[in-house]
């Protein structure tokens, strides 16, 4: 495992690489990366927004670098950063901490008093201050959190700050330093992530398994509200659904039960299915502490009870919610176990297969191409490199953890920082080309959730859709996305703000123009081959970016908040109305429909061949012993009728050793039987 010093160096290099390749200020790159971490831990929602404001002079200096609002819990988070950008870990002094927090407090107070009236309406700072003002005026802010984020480390002498309120609203302080980020890196999916202290009676279920243990218990409505109040979406970071509040029929039913017959809640509601990495008990056998509690089914129940008390002011003290909780025996299997429990748990509202994207073969296949394919050499370079797909943040650093210094250097040369692509960034570049700029503008995590639906539908229609060509085109779209980011930052017309929105709408417009106006397909192989955007395409992008920026920063009457306007479908409709005569995309970037179909046919044929060999190898390497266990499983009366006579005959022959090297067709049949048994719960 990397030390905190090694993590700090890697973290800094990631920031600098992202900033350079995307045309960001280093501080912007830092802010975005840290906020994504805070979203993953549940500290922020997916709607966090960057918006700088700085006023040093005068009696009340003010500072803020972004904000977030948890609509459900009414929590306003305002962030400020102290970015040192040094190779060694700096110490954040108490003086710096107090100075930063005082500035952001002054900013919030001023925003409550109408600071937005003094700002330019098209600036991100205006959107931020107006948003805060409007939420305050409507009394929607229940709690304020001040975040100081830094690549430094808190001084050892610092203890705490007295948390007085602002305008009668509870105030909390959060300091996110390099140690916080490091601990988050090393403790992902471990039982040390957080602990819930409770006093719950429980009944252990007599299950003979070394994989997990299960218990039955219950929460009172007030207990459930307190847990969600303290931990929020950290309880659901591995859950499959976003809260629906009272929009669905189930939630309306929950509310009606709470209002009219709270004592019947236990009988009417299916309760909660949860997992934990560890339970601690008192001397009476009651649960006193739950490590890493995850509500994998029952998020709507939790949300509805919380909203009933906090928003509708209903009494939930007589509500009782049953809980089935399973404790995973092995830390390394925790994530997969949670996903399986979530997938098979009874649900109150339909959960689509796409909600379990973490287990999608997409990641495995995309990673395989990432590890196997070398990118073409460009810009006179004589060193071949790869594009590293990082499904989990920190994976790039972890792969180097046990390498020698020489091997680390070789790894970094072959997988440069500038060519690391994480799943959320990939979703943004893909969704932008899929003409979903409004989705991209809602944030990286929201974009990723939408991308999960798209990919799942794609794979359900065609399980061979993720080909080598798809990988290359996707990387080309990443290159395009980063090039547009950099182009905007360097443009003389760019005054700052709304760069992310301009990027998303520019790429979506280019996609729309190619397909709808030109009736062509874009030839991404031109970008993959050169590994950059050539000047002739840059000239086109210069025109489009400027027009898009002018359009989104001058929204129709009634849509003064540019950030919110860009999240609406209406904004995309307005952009498509633009008539830019100067667009002349060089013909080499176009493909005809016939060419696209031919390329697709070729790559699918090649993938079928590769997949066939992989499956044959898997069947052979699984071994006769495990195939014999599968044969015994499907020989059981209740299972025998679920497969055909042909399938059973092939399984019997391979289990008895009569087939040593199955054909491709036989291997496919055997592999499907293997998957069927595993999905039904067989443990080999």
Is there a single domain that holds both residue 327 and residue 458?
no
> Is 598 a domain residue?
no
Is there a single domain that holds both residue 490 and residue 464?
yes
Is there a single domain that holds both residue 481 and residue 553?
yes
Is there a single domain that holds both residue 315 and residue 429?
no
Output the pLDDT for position 107: 96
| pLDDT band (50, 70, 90) for residue 361 | confident
The SS3 of residue 333 is helix
Residue finishing a domain among 324, 350, 376: 350
pLDDT at 331 over 90: no
pLDDT at 157 over 80: yes
Using a 10 angstrom Cβ sphere, with 0-12 exposed, 13-18 middle and 19 or more buried, the burial of residue 622 is middle
Contact partners, residue 122, CB within 8 Å, separation at least 6: 497, 553, 554, 562
| pLDDT band (50, 70, 90) for residue 72 | confident
d(CA 16, CA 28): 10
Which one is predicted more confidently, 399 or 168?
A: 168
Is there a single domain that holds both residue 548 and residue 573?
yes
Residue finishing a domain among 133, 154, 186: 186
Output the pLDDT for position 240: 40
> Is 355 a domain residue?
no
> Is 600 a domain residue?
no
| pLDDT band (50, 70, 90) for residue 358 | low
Across residues 146-152, what is the average pLDDT? 95
| pLDDT band (50, 70, 90) for residue 356 | low
Q: Domain range for residue 408? A: 362-591
Question: How many domains does the chain fold into?
Answer: 4
Output the pLDDT for position 335: 58
> Is 357 a domain residue?
no
Is there a single domain that holds both residue 107 and residue 142?
yes
Output the pLDDT for position 141: 95
pLDDT at 314 over 80: yes
DSSP per position, 522-552: E-THHHHHHTS--HHHHHHHHHHHHHHHHHH
Output the pLDDT for position 645: 86
Is there a single domain that holds both residue 170 and residue 202?
no
Is there a single domain that holds both residue 118 and residue 182?
yes
Q: How many helices (H) and strands (E) does the chain have?
A: 27, 19
pLDDT digits (tens, 9 = 90+) for 225-267: 999 888 876 776 444 433 333 343 346 778 888 888 889 999 9
**Run of H or E including 371:** helix 361-372
Helices (H), 443-534: 444-461, 468-489, 499-512, 525-530
Output the pLDDT for position 131: 92
Output the pLDDT for position 200: 94
> Is 684 a domain residue?
no
Output the pLDDT for position 1: 57
Is there a single domain that holds both residue 317 and residue 201?
yes
Residue 581: Cβ within 10 Å count: 6
CA dihedral 242, 248, 254, 259 (to 10 degrees): 120
Between the CA of residue 518 and those of 203, 501, 511, 585, 590, what are the distances in Å? 66, 24, 10, 10, 9
Q: pTM of the predicted model, to two decimals? A: 0.65
Is there a single domain that holds both residue 583 and residue 616?
no
* Nearest of 280, 276, 300 to residue 289 by alpha carbon: 280
> Is 545 a domain residue?
yes
Share of the chain above pLDDT 90, in %: 40
> Is 471 a domain residue?
yes
Residue finishing a domain among 161, 186, 211: 186
pLDDT digits (tens, 9 = 90+) for 397-425: 878 876 788 888 889 889 999 999 999 89
* 192-201, 290-299, 572-581: range with highest mean pLDDT: 572-581
Is there a single domain that holds both residue 90 and residue 203?
no
* pLDDT, mean over the chain: 84
Output the pLDDT for position 599: 63
Which one is predicted more confidently, 55 or 616?
A: 55
What is the 8-class DSSP label of residue 376? P
Between the CA of residue 562 and those of 51, 501, 516, 567, what are the distances in Å? 12, 9, 27, 9
Which one is predicted more confidently, 392 or 498?
A: 498
pLDDT digits (tens, 9 = 90+) for 447-496: 988 898 888 888 888 777 788 889 999 999 999 999 999 999 999 999 88
> Is 356 a domain residue?
no
């Amino acid at each position: 495992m990397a030390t905190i010093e090694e993590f700090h160096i890697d973290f800094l290099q990631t920031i600098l690489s992202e900033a350079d390749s995307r045309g960001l200020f280093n501080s912007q790159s830092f802010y975005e990366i840290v906020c994504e971490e805070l979203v993953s831990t549940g500290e922020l929602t997916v709607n966090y927004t960057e918006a700088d404001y700085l006023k040093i002079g005068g009696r009340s200096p003010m500072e803020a670098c972004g904000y977030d609002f948890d609509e459900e819990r009414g929590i306003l988070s305002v962030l400020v950063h102290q970015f040192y950008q040094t190779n060694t870990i700096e110490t954040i002094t108490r003086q710096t901490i107090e100075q930063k927090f005082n500035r952001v407090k002054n900013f919030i107070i001023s925003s409550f008093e109408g600071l937005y009236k003094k700002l330019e309406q098209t600036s991100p700072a205006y959107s931020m201050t107006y948003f805060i003002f409007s939420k305050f005026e409507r009394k929607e802010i229940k709690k304020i959190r001040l975040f100081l984020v830094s690549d430094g480390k808190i001084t050892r002498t610092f203890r705490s700050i007295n948390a007085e309120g602002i305008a009668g609203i509870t105030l909390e302080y959060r300091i996110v330093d390099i140690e916080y980020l490091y601990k988050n890196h090393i403790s992902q999916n471990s039982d040390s992530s957080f602990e819930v202290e409770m006093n719950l009676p429980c009944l252990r279920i007599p299950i003979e398994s070394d994989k997990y243990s299960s218990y039955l218990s219950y929460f009172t409505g007030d207990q459930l509200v307190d847990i969600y109040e303290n931990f929020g979406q950290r309880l659901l970071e591995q859950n499959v659904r976003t809260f629906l509040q009272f929009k669905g029929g189930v939630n309306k039913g929950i509310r009606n039960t709470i209002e009219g017959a709270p004592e019947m809640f236990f009988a009417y509601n299916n309760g909660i299915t949860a997992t934990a990495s560890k339970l601690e008990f008192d001397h009476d056998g009651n649960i006193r502490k739950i490590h890493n509690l995850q509500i994998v089914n029952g998020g709507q129940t939790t949300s509805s009870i919380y909203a009933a008390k906090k928003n509708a002011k209903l009494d939930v003290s007589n509500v009782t919610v049953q809980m089935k909780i399973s404790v995973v025996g092995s830390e390394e299997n925790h994530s997969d176990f949670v996903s399986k429990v979530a997938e098979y748990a009874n649900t109150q509202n339909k959960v689509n297969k796409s909600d379990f994207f973490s287990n999608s073969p997409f990641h495995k296949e995309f990673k395989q191409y990432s590890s196997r394919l070398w990118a073409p050499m460009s810009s006179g370079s004589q060193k071949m490199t790869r594009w590293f797909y990082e499904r989990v943040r920190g994976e790039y650093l972890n792969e180097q953890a046990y390498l020698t210094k020489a091997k680390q250097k070789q790894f970094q040369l072959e997988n440069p920082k500038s060519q690391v692509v994480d799943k959320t960034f990939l979703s943004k570049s893909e969704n932008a080309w899929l003409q979903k700029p409004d989705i991209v503008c809602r944030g990286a995590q929201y974009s990723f959730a939408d991308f999960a639906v798209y990919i799942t539908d794609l794979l359900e229609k065609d399980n061979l859709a993720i080909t080598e060509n798809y990988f290359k085109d996707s990387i080309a779209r990443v290159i395009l996305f980063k090039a547009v980011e950099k182009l905007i930052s360097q443009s003389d017309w760019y005054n700052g703000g709304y760069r992310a929105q301009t990027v998303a709408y520019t790429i979506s417009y280019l996609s729309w123009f190619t397909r709808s106006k030109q009736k062509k397909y874009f030839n991404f192989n031109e970008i993959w081959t050169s590994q950059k955007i050539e000047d002739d395409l840059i000239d086109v992008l210069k025109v489009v970016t400027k027009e898009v920026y002018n359009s989104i920063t001058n929204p129709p009457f009634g849509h003064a908040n540019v950030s919110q306007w860009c999240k609406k479908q209406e904004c995309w409709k307005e952009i498509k109305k633009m008539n830019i005569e100067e667009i002349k995309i060089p013909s080499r970037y176009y493909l005809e429909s016939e060419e696209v179909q031919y390329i697709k046919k070729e790559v699918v044929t090649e993938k079928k061949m590769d997949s066939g060999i992989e499956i044959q190898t898997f069947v052979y390497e699984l071994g006769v012993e495990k195939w014999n266990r599968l044969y015994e499983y499907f020989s059981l009366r209740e299972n025998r009728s679920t497969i055909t006579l042909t399938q059973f005959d092939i399984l019997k022959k391979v289990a008895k050793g009569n087939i040593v090297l199955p054909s491709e067709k036989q291997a496919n049949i055997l592999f499907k039987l293997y998957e069927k048994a595993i999905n039904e719960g067989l443990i080999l």
